[in-house]
Amino acid sequence: MLQEEPNKMQPSHTAAGQSPAPRPAVKACLWCGASEKRLKCCSGCGTVWLCGKDCQQQLWPSHKAACKDAQRCARLRAAAHAENSSDSQQNK
């Protein structure tokens, strides 16, 4: 699933408590290279730009593993952050 480009002042899509995923440096469709189209960011990992559903479907087989890994890392970072926050609250 793709997500419309967020307002430039807002972080990329995140689940509650997760830090935003870094945006790609080059804003172009990862599959076809288009940069003049309205691009959308992968809603799973937030690390790739795509211009539409066709490119998303073509890219998915090669992007799936990296996307799942990025989601897993984000969940682990969020869990570690939550644990550190609760530890600091208990030490007060």
Structural domains counted in the chain: 1
**Assigned domain for 14 exists:** no
**Assigned domain for 15 exists:** no
Radius of gyration of the chain (CA): 16
Length of the chain: 92
What pLDDT score does 91 carry?
Answer: 59
pLDDT tens column, 40-88: 999 999 989 999 999 999 999 999 999 999 999 999 999 998 888 766 6
**Residue 61 Cα distances to 12, 45, 56, 68, angstroms:** 23, 15, 9, 12
- Between CA 33 and CA 90 the distance in angstroms is 50
pLDDT tens column, 5-14: 543 333 344 4
- The domain of 56 spans 23-90
Q: Which residues pair with 35 in a beta bridge?
A: none
**Assigned domain for 78 exists:** yes
